[in-house]
Structures are given as structure tokens and as C-alpha cells.
């Protein structure tokens, strides 16, 4: 089987995972809206929590993957690692954009403002700019090896922001609530809400995996077509 046919098969299979993820997300949203009780102090506005937190989870997962692949690239110089890092950065940026959009929608009825320069909000916005710059850099450097090296450096630096964002609510005075699942005292949610959140986290993770697989397959397909074109030119 050629690289081109493998990439085409992977793209077709990834579509199934993407669709499954969408179905699971829809089911999680139905459970959140219709079968999960209201939070006492925040009311219906809190329901966006079941989209906001999973979006953050998969965005941070994607960026940690970028960092890990970037570190490995410097040791192995394997273009597949660069391809995976680039794919994860693209998908992660989609989800971090969702975080920055759903956060203000949740904040307005609770805090009375759409945005505040809180350390977690500000650092998350900065993370978005870092990886937007990562994607711009990749489009601006035509030579593959140089592009991979420059991108790897920026990807590692960006990934280092993820643990900082997680612990920022413990290090600084902030209006942003502390993590309710990855909390030092254990989960801080009632059982029904925790189950809904976990189901939503699982659904978003499946969707993320499908998108990542799809984007990686598309990149592999582009590279395979380029290689075949080069061979034909010779």
C-alpha cells in the first residue's frame, strides 16, 4: 500500500470518529440541559460549563501534544512528529477559540462583565496568540526543515503556558473559580453534575481525536501527493 492510499484510508476512517464525536457531544448537551439540575447560585448560566470546560480540556491536551512532539522532533528529526504537532496546533486553536467565546457568555450574567483582565483569562488569551503565531509562522517559512525547527521552539514555549494556566488560580488572586475536578481536595461537584461533566469531557475528547486524525491524514495526503509530483517531475 502506498503512502497516498494509506493517507486516503486514514482520512475516510477519521470521518467516522468525527461524526461519532458530534453525536456524543449532542447527547452530552441534551443531558446537561434537560437532565442535570441547576446550580444553586448561578442558575441556567452555569450550563455553559459543560461546553466551556471540555473545550479547555481538549485545547490544553492538544497544546501539550504539540510540546511533546516538538521536543521529540529535535531528537528524532522525524517529519511525522512535525506533522502531528502542526495538526494538534490547528485543532487546539479551534477549541481554545471556543473557550474564549464561551467564557464571556458565562461571565456576563455571573460577574456582570464580558471580560476582566484576570490572570487566567489573560494568560489563556496570550496562549491563543502564541499558537496563532505558531500557525502564521508555519505558513511563512517555506523550507520544511527550517519550518519544523522554528515551529518546534515556539510549540515548546507555548506548551509551557498550559500548566501555568492550570495553577494560576492558586498562585494569584483571581475571580476565576478553581478547578472542580482536578482539585487538590478532590472533585467539587455533586454526583449528577460530575457525571454530566465527565460524559461531556469524554465526548469532546472523542471529537478532538477524530479532528486530529482527520487533520493529520490531510497533511499526510498533501505530503504524499507532493512526493509523487516530485517523482513524476524527475
For 97-154, where are the E strands, in sequence order? none
**For residue 184, what is the DSSP state?**
T
Task: Specify the pLDDT at position 170.
Answer: 81
Task: Specify the pLDDT at position 228.
Answer: 60
Per residue in 3-33, is it b (16+ CB within 10 Å) or e — as a string? Answer: eeeebeebbeebeebbeebeebbeebbebbe
pLDDT digits (tens, 9 = 90+) for 34-87: 999 988 888 888 899 999 999 999 999 999 999 999 999 999 999 999 999 999
Average pLDDT, integer, range 102-109: 92
pLDDT digits (tens, 9 = 90+) for 186-207: 666 778 899 999 999 999 999 9
Percent of the chain with pLDDT over 70: 92
Residue 106 confidence (pLDDT) above 80: yes
Contact 32, 48 (CB under 8 A): no
Report the sign of the C-alpha dihedral through residues 185, 190, 192, 194, in that order: negative
**Better pLDDT: 110 or 153:** 153
Q: Which CATH class is domain 3-229?
A: mainly alpha
Task: Specify the pLDDT at position 184.
Answer: 58
Say how far apart CA 70 and CA 154 lie, in whole Å: 9
**Better pLDDT: 110 or 84:** 84
Contact 169, 179 (CB under 8 A): yes
- Other C-beta atoms within 10 Å of 148: how many? 23
Instruction: Find the Cα–Cα–Cα–Cα dihedral 218, 26, 53, 135, rounded to 10°.
Output: 20
Residue 12 confidence (pLDDT) above 80: yes
Residue 2 confidence (pLDDT) above 80: no
Q: Where are the domains of the chain?
A: 3-229
Residue 120 confidence (pLDDT) above 60: yes
175 φ, ψ to 5°? -90, -15
Task: Specify the pLDDT at position 230.
Answer: 54
Cell of 205: 475528547
Say how far apart CA 112 and CA 45 lie, in whole Å: 12
Residue 233 confidence (pLDDT) above 70: no
At residue 93 the predicted structure's pLDDT band, cuts being 50, 70 and 90, is very high
Contact 26, 204 (CB under 8 A): no
Amino acid at each position: 500500500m502506498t503512502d497516498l492510499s494509506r493517507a486516503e484510508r486514514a482520512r475516510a476512517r477519521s470521518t467516522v470518529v468525527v461524526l461519532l464525536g458530534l453525536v456524543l457531544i449532542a447527547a452530552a448537551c441534551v443531558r446537561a440541559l434537560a437532565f442535570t439540575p441547576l446550580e444553586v447560585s448561578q442558575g441556567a448560566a452555569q450550563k455553559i460549563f459543560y461546553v466551556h470546560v471540555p473545550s479547555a480540556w481538549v485545547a490544553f491536551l492538544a497544546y501539550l501534544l504539540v510540546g511533546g512532539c516538538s521536543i521529540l522532533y529535535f531528537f528524532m528529526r522525524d517529519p511525522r512528529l512535525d506533522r502531528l504537532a502542526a495538526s494538534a496546533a490547528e485543532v487546539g486553536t479551534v477549541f481554545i477559540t471556543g473557550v474564549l467565546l464561551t467564557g464571556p457568555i458565562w461571565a456576563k450574567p455571573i460577574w456582570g462583565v464580558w471580560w476582566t483582565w484576570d490572570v487566567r483569562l489573560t494568560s489563556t488569551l496570550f496562549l491563543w496568540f502564541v499558537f496563532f503565531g505558531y500557525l502564521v509562522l508555519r505558513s511563512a517559512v517555506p523550507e520544511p526543515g527550517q519550518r519544523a525547527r522554528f515551529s518546534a521552539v515556539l510549540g515548546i514555549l507555548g506548551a509551557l503556558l498550559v500548566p501555568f494556566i492550570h495553577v494560576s488560580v492558586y498562585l494569584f488572586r483571581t475571580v476565576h473559580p478553581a478547578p472542580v475536578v482536578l482539585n487538590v481536595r478532590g472533585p467539587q461537584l455533586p454526583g449528577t453534575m460530575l457525571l454530566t461533566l465527565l460524559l461531556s469531557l469524554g465526548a469532546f475528547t472523542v471529537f478532538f481525536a477524530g479532528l486530529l486524525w482527520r487533520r493529520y491524514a490531510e497533511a499526510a495526503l498533501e505530503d504524499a501527493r507532493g512526493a509523487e509530483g516530485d517523482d513524476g517531475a524527475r
